[in-house]
Amino acid sequence: MKKITVNASTEYDILIGKGLLSDAGKLCADTLGIHSVAIVSDDTVDALYSEALEKSLRDAGYSPIKFVIPHGEASKSMKSLEGLLGFLAENHMTRSDFLIALGGGVVGDLTGFAAAVYLRGIRFVQIPTTLLAAVDSSVGGKTAVNIPAGKNLVGAFHQPSLVICDCLTLDTLPENIFADGCAEVIKYGIINDKRLFEKLKSPIKPQIEDIIANCVSNKRDIVNADEFDNGIRRLLNLGHTVGHAVEICSNFGISHGSAVAIGTCIVARASARLGICEESLPCEAEKMFKDYSHPTTCKFSAEELTTVALGDKKRMGQTISFVLPYAIGDCRICDMNVETIKDFIQKGL
């Protein structure tokens, strides 16, 4: 088992290994004590892993309750949030109690936001069951739900008390969902870790624990330096400003990982055409994303993508933060005037 500690406003451990789900009850008890606990999951993950988690919790002295949402991005909504908060209140959850998010990014984001606002804040544990959640959304305390105007526009910073990543849960992922996580792994390599990027030229599954720990360590360092996303943490948004626009324009028919791949490649191509990076960089990025089964182009116009991007949460007045690649392993933050965004995206298309 690997242990990585985050030292943000809340100090907590990220535990990475195989078979940790059966030890989750003891791990929670050691960290949070014995209190009431509510598991939040989706219908797919619930059928696979809730029984094992509940047994582990009962063996450790807990009496867990459970709230299950339909799987998919549509459940990351104010309606789901309201339902979960009502469930917690009906079951008399108190400020000493805690939630467990058992699932991918949708479950983790929804559970974390509910924990942030219920009774003005209670504790929660992340148990990610997708690669994307393991390397990205379960760590760092960003929680949110979507509203019709945009993705992740309603949320809060609320750090978990513990993250338990059982790598065996990744074995049941469909290939397309596993590939979604690979896109975020590739993103870390392009941002600031050329060694990681090179590792990905070999099959990822045989080195999965090391890859997850590598990504989590990178994110830990960034979160420790900039918990509230005012500076260096914005590097983690590589490909996301355009990527979120791609997701929304596709009505979420294009997955988050594929949208990040497309967004990253658009930014890389635009950067090359502006002389910011070598012309070889977008080719390297495109090949890597294609090797992991992701598209690198989209059918949407610069105008369509810009219209959505202008509503992105990263907008500050008349500027939007973009992350530009100067080389593999060297990305930098650039605040662009909103009037230049359409032309920039057009260059990347």
Check residue 35 and report its DSSP letter. Answer: -
Q: Stretch 205-214: mean pLDDT, rounded?
A: 96
Per-residue pLDDT, 9:
93
Q: Show the DSSP H helices in 205-301 as ranges.
A: 208-225, 240-249, 256-273, 280-291
Q: Stretch 22-30: mean pLDDT, rounded?
A: 98
CA dihedral 76, 164, 177, 80 (to 10 degrees): -10
For the chain, list the domains and their CATH numbers.
2-172 (3.40.50.1970), 225-348 (1.20.1090.10)
d(CA 263, CA 166): 30
- Rg of the chain in Å (alpha carbons): 20
Res. 155 pLDDT band, cuts 50 70 90: very high
Q: Is the pLDDT of residue 314 over 80?
A: no
Check residue 71 and report its DSSP letter. Answer: S
Q: How many CB atoms lie within 10 A of CB 297?
A: 13
180 vs 314, more confident: 180
Residue in this structure with the two tokens 């809730």, named with its chain if needed = 50
d(CA 232, CA 228): 10
Check residue 125 and report its DSSP letter. Answer: E
AA identity, residue 328: I
Q: In a 3-state reduction of DSSP, which class is residue 322?
A: strand
- Identify any residues that bridge with 315 across adjacent strands, giving them in sequence order: 320
Per-residue pLDDT, 48:
98
Q: Which helix (H) or strand (E) holds 128?
A: strand 123-128
Report the percentage of the chain scoring pLDDT > 90. 95
Identify which of 261, 278, 267, 268 has the alpha carbon closest to the alpha carbon of residue 320: 267
Q: In a 3-state reduction of DSSP, which class is residue 227?
A: coil
Task: Answer yes or no: pTM beyond 0.85.
Answer: yes
Residue in this structure with the two tokens 């959640």, named with its chain if needed = 133
Lowest mean pLDDT among 23-37, 215-229, 311-325: 311-325
Structure confidence by residue, pLDDT tens digits, 158-201: 999 999 999 999 999 999 999 999 999 999 999 999 999 999 99
CB-based contact 147:248 (threshold 8 Å): no
Secondary-structure percent of the chain, ordered helix, strand, coil, rounded to 5: 55, 20, 25
**37-42 and 98-103: which strand pairing?**
parallel
Looking at every residue in the chain, the average pLDDT score rounds to: 96
Q: In a 3-state reduction of DSSP, which class is residue 39?
A: strand
How far lies 226's CA from each of 9, 207, 236, in Å? 11, 29, 11
Per-residue pLDDT, 317:
83
Structure confidence by residue, pLDDT tens digits, 91-130: 999 999 999 999 999 999 999 999 999 999 999 999 999 9
Q: Stretch 258-271: mean pLDDT, rounded?
A: 98
Identify which of 333, 349, 342 has the alpha carbon closest to the alpha carbon of residue 295: 349
Res. 312 pLDDT band, cuts 50 70 90: confident
Residue 204 exposed, middle or buried by CB count within 10 Å (0-12, 13-18, 19+): buried
Per-residue pLDDT, 276:
97
Identify which of 248, 247, 227, 249 has the alpha carbon closest to the alpha carbon of residue 236: 227
Joined together, the tokens standing for residue 123 give 């504790």
CB-based contact 263:299 (threshold 8 Å): no
Given CA atoms 274, 303, 237, 18 in this order, what sign does their dihedral have? negative
Per-residue pLDDT, 298:
96
- Helices 256-273 and 175-192: crossing angle, nearest 10°? 30
Per-residue pLDDT, 316:
79
Q: Is the pLDDT of residue 79 over 90?
A: yes
Check residue 231 and report its DSSP letter. Answer: S
Res. 151 pLDDT band, cuts 50 70 90: confident
